[in-house]
Amino acid sequence: MGVSYIDGCFQQSDKTSLSLSMPLPFQNRMTTLYDVPAEALMPKLADKLKGNENIKPPEWAVFVKTGVHREKPPVKGDWWYTRAAAVFRKVYIEGPIGVSRLSALFGGAEDRRVKPDRARKGSGSIVRHVLKQLESAGFVSNVKGKGRVVSPSGRSFLDNTAYEVMQEVVKGKPELSKY
């Protein structure tokens, strides 16, 4: 019984056993959303979504809070694109997922003054409008009775963005190049 390394695979051969072939980890693998840190991916994804004509903030977005647990509306002017990127990422990771579960993910603790804080959902209207925009852009599709899932073009868009971010991250930290 022997083990040999041929063409990037470990092979075990014996007259009594079958040949096992297993690729080395992290070799010839496509970069996906799971391979890059979210804090590096989100700004790049938001910038790329700004370039899409289907995704734009509605006129009421300047006045609205992101949930009942917030006291004021967001301060940043481009918060809609950041939220769209976050919703897009969550649909990729959690999908199929509906508006209710997504709004719960974007919720937080409501300050009830002297009473203990309580978990509250985020704005369902914001999540619903972002999902509609992502659907019109062709990045997300609706599965009847289950929720939204990322379409093949959306998966490609996210994976290509993740690859670009990974290239930038590797420039800063060369030890990550093996991933």
- pLDDT on residue 10: 52
Side chain identity, residue 135 = E
Considering 10-19, 67-76, 156-165, the range whose residues carry the highest mean pLDDT is 156-165
Q: What is the pLDDT of residues 122-170, one digit of tens each?
A: 988 999 999 999 999 999 999 999 999 999 999 999 999 999 999 998 8
Q: How far apart are CA 75 and CA 95, in angstroms?
A: 29
Adjacent-strand bridge partners of 98: none
Six-digit token pair at 94? 């959690």
Confidence class for position 30, pLDDT limits 50, 70, 90: confident
- Measured in degrees and rounded to the nearest 5, phi and psi for residue 6 equal -135, 130
- pLDDT on residue 153: 96
Contact of 62 with 73, CB cutoff 8 Å: yes
Contact of 66 with 106, CB cutoff 8 Å: yes
Of 9-23, 64-78, 83-97, which range is least confident?
9-23
Q: How far apart are CA 86 and CA 75, in angstroms?
A: 17
Contact of 67 with 120, CB cutoff 8 Å: yes
Please spell the DSSP secondary structure of 73-140, one letter per residue: --SSTTHHHHHHHHHHHHHHHH-SB-HHHHHHHT-EEE--TTSPPEEE-B-HHHHHHHHHHHHHHTSE
Domains within the chain, CATH numbers bracketed: 1-29 (no CATH), 31-178 (1.10.10.10)
Q: How far apart are CA 161 and CA 111, in angstroms?
A: 37
Q: Is 8 left (phi over 0), alpha (psi -120 to 50) or beta?
A: left
- pLDDT on residue 4: 55
Please check the confidence at residue 19 and state whether its pLDDT lies above 90: no
* 5 three-state secondary structure: strand
Six-digit token pair at 117? 């804080």
Return the percentage of the chain with pLDDT > 70, whole number: 84
Q: What is the pTM of this model?
A: 0.80
